[in-house]
Structure 1
Amino acid sequence: MRKLLPISLLVLCTIIHVMGQSGFDPDAYSNYLKANQDLTYSQLHSLYPTDTYYQDRLYPVEPYHYEYFDSIVDAFGITEDELALLAKNKFVVTERLSYSNMVEPLDEIFHKDLPVLISTDFILKALHLSYDNILMDLERGILEPNLKEILSLMSGSYPDLASKYMDIEGLEAALEDVDIYITIALSLADSIRYDPLLASENQIDTLLQAIYDESVFSYPLFSDRNRLLDFSQFRPRGHYTAPDPWFSEYSLTNYFRAMMWLGRMEFYLTPPPAYPGPPWTKEQIRRMHLSAFLLQELLETSGALDILLENDGMIEFLVGESDNLTPWEYGRIIKDISGLNTADQLLSDEIYDPYYELVSTSLEAEQKILSCILYSDPFDPEPEELPVSYRLFGQRFIIDSYVFANVVYDRIIYQGAKVWRGLPNPLDAMFVLGNNNAGELLQPELEAYHYESQIDALRYLVESYDEDFWSKSLYNTWLQAIRELNPAEVEVGTPYFMKTVAWQHQKLNTQLASWAQLRHDNLLYAKQSYTWGIICSFPHSYVEPYPEFYRTIEKFCDAAYTYFSRNGVMGYPITSYFNNVRNIMQQLAGIAEKELRMEPLNQDEITFLKGMMREPDIICGAPPWAGWFLDLYYNIDKLIEEDDYVIADVHTQATDEGGNLIGKILHVGTGKVNLGIFLAGSPSDNYQPVAFVGPCMSYYEHITLDWDRKTDEWWSAMIQGGFPARPEWTNVYLANNKGGENTGGLRLKGALFDQKENTGIDQVTQGSLWIYPNPVYDHAMLHFNLSSNASVQVNAYDVMGRKINEIYNGKIMAGEHWIEWPAGNLKSGVYYVVLNAGKSGNVLKIIKQ
C-alpha cells in the first residue's frame, strides 16, 4: 500500500523523538502534512513572516554626538564607508580591525579606557574554547583509556567465543566478521597492525590501507556483497590533530580513527536500498545478524559492557543518543525472545523469522540520518527507507544533521516527483531552529528546489519539542542558546541597531559561527548527514540584551555542573569552571533584562561590569590580565594562543545529478575576530548616548570536491594567508579588510527610518555650524552658535579617522563664534572637522583643494 504522503517518512523517522513531548499530537501532525503538501514560497512565508526592520535612515545618525566616539576614532581610526554604515545602522563591524582571538581586542579596549560591548559572540567563543578543552581532557583521561580497555577485553575473550562456535557450520563468515571488526578497531586505537585469529591477513591489510589512504572504495564488508565505503571520514581533523599539551608527540588521532570505525561501520539488520543492483538476499542479511549476535555476546562475556556503558553515558550527556540500534537496545530485544541463547539458533528460520520481525519493527532500531553512500531510484516517487543497523559506538542523532538530511535528494518530493538538490544551505538549519529571517534569505533556493513542504514539516517538529529535549544533552542546550538569538520582540529598551536589517544579518553570523564551533567540537560523535547518491577601566559597559540567551547558557552550566559533580569526573577544575560561568550568566541575564526595560543599574551591577577586566597583581607565572572574564575560560592558556580558526565538514554529497561520484563536502568555519562599533544608551549613566566597542566572530562556508575533508591546520593557513570570501548576506553590515563597503548579496527587505536622531544634547544651535569657504584652499572660517557656556574642542581628521590637526581647545561663552582654520599645508582630499561642545558632537565634511 502506498504511503499517505511522500514526506510521511518524516513522521516515521522522528515520531520516536516527539511522541514523548508534552502536547505533541501525531494525528494533528499528520493532518498538518496533508494540508501543507506542495507549499509555495509565498505560502511558507505567510506561515513564518519576517518582521519589518530598518534598512536605512532619512536622517543619518551623527556618531560624534555619542560620548567616547572621538576617542574610539583616535584609537582605531575609521574609514568613510565605515562611518556611513555606522550612521545608517548605529553599528558597524569591520574586517579592517581583525584579531586572532577575543582577548586581544578586549585588552586594547581596556587599556585605551573605552566603553565595551559585552557581546554574545564573546560569550559563545569562550564557551566553544572551554567545551573543546574539557572534551579533550575527558577523552585523554577517561574515554580513550576506557576504549582501549574495552577493545583489549573483547580481543582477549575472542578466542573463547571462536572456540565455542567455530565448528558450527554456517557461522564461519560471521565469526570472521567479528574478528575483522575487533582487530581493525584495536589496530587503529594502538596504531599497530594486529594479526587476526580467523580472518585473513589480507582482509585486515586491505581495510587498514584504505582507512589510512582515506579513500572511497567498494568492498564486501560483513557480507559477500560489495558496498561503497567512505573512508575519507577517517581523516583526523578538529582538535584530534592537536598535540597533547604535556607530550607534544601524542595526539588523539588514534582514538579518532578507532571511534570512527566503531561509530560508522555498521551491520545491516534490514536490507538497505539495493538500487541499482539486485535486492539483498535473506542470507546476506542473516549473516550480519549472526555477526551482531556474536559481537553482542562477546561484549557481554568479556566484561566490557559496563565500561562501554560508562563511555556511552558520557557521550550521550554531551551530544545525544546513538542513531542506530545500540548494544543495550539489541540486548533487550534478544532477552525478549524466549529460548534464544546462542548464535547458532539464528540459523533456523523457525527462530530467525520471529526474531527478525521483532528487530525490524522495533522503534528503537530506526535510524534517522543517512550517513553513508547509498543510492535512491530517481523514478520511484517514494523516498528510500534507511536500514536498521547495529553499531557498538554509533554516532549521535543531532537535529541539525536531521534537517540537512531531509532537505536534499531524495527527501524533496514536489508534485509527486523527486527533486535533485545536492547540498543543503546552513541557513536551512537556522530557519528550522526558528529564525524566520533565514527563510527569507533562502527564497531563491526554496523556489528553485521546491522544498518548502519539507522544511515546514521539520519546523513543525522542532517547535513541538519541549524543555526536556533541549536539556537532554549539552549539544541540544547549546543549540537552544543559539535559538535564543532568533529575532526577538522589540521592547522599550531595545537599541536602534537591533531594529535594523543589518543587525539581523549580524546575528545570523553569530548563530552560524557558534553552530560551526559546535559541529567542530563534536565532529567525532555527531552523525553527519549525506545526500542520497545520486589601571585602566571600561568607563561604560553594555551587555548585548538577550536575557534568555544568558539564562540558557546558565542551564547548560547547571546541567554540566550537576553531571560532573555527581559522577566525580575529572574533579574540581571542571565543576569549578561551570559553577563560575553559571554565576556570571545569572548576572548578565539580570543586567540585560534591565537594559530592555531601560532601568538604571545599581552600584553592584556597575561594579560587576567594571570588574570584567582589570590589571593583574604582579605574580610570577600569572596571566597578563585579571577579572571575571577569565572565569569564562576553562583553560586560560588558550587565551594567548595565536589563533583559534576552526572548520568542520557538516554534509557530504556523494554523487552529482548524473550519478557520478564527486565527493562534494560542505564545510563551515570561523576565522578572525572582527571589531564592531555600537551606538546605544549606557545603562550605567542613565542611558546617555555612548559609543561602545566590542568583538564579533566571523563565519565562513567552504565546499570541496574529491572527498577532501579539511583540517583546522589547513584552514588556519587559509585565514592567515588572507581574507577568504564571507557569505554574501554578511555584506549588509560588514566593512571589508580595507574598511570599504561590501555591495551586493542577499538581504532582508526593510523600511526607511524617517525620524531625526535625538540625543538630548543641543548646546550647538541646530543649523549654525558651517565653514567658509568649502572647498578650502589656504584658510577657512568655522562658524557656530553656542546656547550656553561650554568647553570646546575642534579637531580635523582625515578619511582614515586619523587626527591631523587640533584647531581649537578651550572654554567659550554662549553666543555666535568664528574660528580660523589654516589648512594650507594639507594635501588635497576629503577631511572631517569635528566640534565637541560639552557633550555635544558635530561634524562637517570638508574638501581641500
Structure 2
Amino acid sequence: MKKLYYLLIIILFFSGCIKKPDEISKNDMELQEKSPFFIDLTQVENYKKIKKTLKINQEEQNYLQDNSFLIKKLGKNDNFSKAYSFLRRNSVPLYLTSDFIFNLTQTNIQKNILNIQNNIQYENLWNLLNNLYTATSKIIETDEYEKQALNLLKSDLAISLSILQAKTEQINTADNKLIIKADEKLFTQEEAKKFIFTPDQDTLNQIKSEIELIKTAQTKEKSGLFDYQIDYQKFALPEVYNNYPKIKNYLITIKWLQNTPFTLKNSEVSIEKSQIQTLSAIILSSIINKNDYIKNQHKTINNINSIFWNFPEANLSENYYSIWQKINPEMKKEKDFYLQNFTAFQKEVENYLLSTPLSEPDFRLFPEEKQLDQFIGQQINYPQIQELTIDENQKIPFTAEKIDNKYRKIFSQEMEIFALLGSKKAKQLIEKDISLFPNYGENYNKIRAEIENLDQNFWHKNYYQYWISALKNYNNKQKNIATSFTYTDNPEWQNKILTTSLGSLFELHKNNMNYNTNPSSANETLLQNISIEPRPDIYQELLNLKQNIEYELQKNNIQIPELKEENNKISEFLQKIITLSDKQIKKIPLTQEETQSLAAVFDNIFFLSSSNIISIDELSSAYSNNILQHALGYLQFVIIKEELNHKNYFAVGPMYDYSEFKKNKNEKINLKNWQNSLELP
C-alpha cells in the first residue's frame, strides 16, 4: 500500500510542478516508445493499483497504451538522474513519466466539456442580460451625458446577447443527428426559440463591427464600440470548442462580460468620453441595486465563472484538475511523509524543474527566471530592484531614470538580498555551495555598508516620494495616456510614466517588470487580479500617515519643492473622497453634483476611466455595493493591501510597523523598525 502512496505522490508532484508535460526532454533519456516491443501497461509494476485508484476504464487504458511511454534508461541529464536515483533508493517506484497524467487527462477532456455544458446556466445568463437590456431602455434620460451613457450600456449588453443567442447552424435537426451525436452539443429547435434577440437598428449598427472583431479574435486594435484599444486575441478559444458551438459562444460571452477595455499608449480618450463611459457604469450599478432579481443572479454568474475556471483559454491538454481531484485525498493522508522524504532532494529538483516554493515565506524566487520576488525586494530597496545582468545605461524596471539619482540605491544579486532579509534558507544555500555565488562576501559587505550609511533623511525622502508615486500616474508630454490628477509641467517629471505600488504589493511578477516600456501589459495583469474589499476609513489613516511624514520632513528641514504641487492635489483629492465616504457611512444619498464630482474623480484614476469597469465586478464578482464603494475599493487597491504576510503596509522604503502610523503626528516615527526586522549576520 505504501508503494501506491509513494507513486501517487510522485504523480501529483510532477503534474503540478513541471511546467509542461514535455519538460522531460526525449533527448535526455532513452525512451521505449510504442513499437512491436512496447511493454504492455498491465505488466508495469503497481499499474493495477494505479488503475484502481484512478478508476481507469478500458477505453482510457487503451488510449494510454497507444500514447504513453516508459523510462527505459536515464541519459545525459545528471540532475534528472540524481533525483530519480534518490527515489529509487527510497523504494519509490516510478515507471511512468508525467505523460501518464497528461494522456489520461486528454481522454477525459471531451467528457468534461460535455459535463460542463450540461451544467451551465445558459438560460439564466440569457435572462439576466436580457433583463439588463430591457431595464436600461426604461431609464429616464435626464441629460445628454446620461443619454449617451445609456446608449453605450445598451450596446455593451447587446453584444453579449448577440453572441449568446442560438444560431441556425447550432440547431439540432434530424439531419445532423444522422451525422453526429448532437444531443449534448447543439440547441434543439424548441430551445432556440427562447433565445431570440433583435436590437434596435441604431444599436445594431453600433455593435456590428465589435462583434466581428470578437469573433475573428486575431487583432489588437481600437474597439468598434469604445474609444479604447482591445486585444481581441483573448477571445480565441482552443480548437476543441469548435465541436461545441453552444458552449463556445457561451464562453466568449463570459469573456466579453469580463472584458475591461483600457487605454494603450497610442490611444487618446477625451475627458467627455471618459465621463460618459464612467456614467454608464453608474447607471448599470443603479439598475442592479434596484433590481432584486438581477442582484440575486450575481451568485449565478460567479458559479458560471467557477465552472470554467479549470478550462481557460490555455491549451486544455495542460489541465490536470480532474486527476488532482482523485489523487488529492490520498495526498492529504501522506502530507507528513511527502514533506519529510522530498525535502532531501528539493535542491536537486529545483535545478531542472520549475522552482517550487521553499518553506520560508521570505525565500521565494520567480519560477523560470529565478529573479527576486518583487514583494520581498521592494521592502528593503528604494526605489526598485536591478535585474542581475542589466547595464547601467539601460532603463531600470519600475523607476524613472532621472528622478533623484543621488538617492537611488540598486542592489544586484538576489541571494544577497535574501540574506539581508535574514533568510536562514538563503544563508544555508550560500554556505553550502559558495561557488554558486562568486564574490558573495565582497558584494554582501558592500551592500550592507551602503544600507548602514543611509541616514534618516534619505529614508524620509524616498519614502515620501514613493508614497506620492503610489497615488499617481504621470502623463507623458503628448498626453496620450489616460488623464491624471497629478499631471505637472515640471520638466523633471515630463515624459515619465511612474508605476504605482501595485506590482510589489500584489506580486504581479514579471509582467510588471516591464511596466515602463509596456504599460498595457501591466494593466492587463492588474485588472485580472483586482479584488475589491471597500474600507472607507483607510483614507483617514492615509491622511494621518501623510501628516506624520510631512511633520518629519519639516522637523528635519527636508525640502522637496518639486512635489509641492502634487502634495496639494493629493490632499484635495483624498479630502474629496473622505467627504463622500463619510456621507456613505452615514447613508446620506449623494446629490447630482456630488455624483458628477465623483465621476470627475474617476476620470483621474488611470484604470477606472475605462468603459464598464464597474459592470465587470457587478456581473462577475457579486460586489453589488454602490458606485462610491467601488471607487473606494479601487483606490484602496492602488494604495494598500492589509493581508501582507509581513505586516508591512507599504512594500518599499523602511520596514515600518503599521502601528507607527497611528501615533500622534507630533511623535517621531521610529525609523529603525525596518532595521530591527532584519537578521543581519
Establish whether TM, by shorter chain, passes 0.5.
Answer: no
Q: From the two aligned structures, give the one with the greater helix fraction.
A: 2
> What is the TM-score normalised by the length of structure 2?
0.30
Relative contact order: is structure 1 or structure 2 higher (C-alpha 8 Å, sep ≥ 6)?
1
Per the normalisation by structure 1, the TM-score is 0.25
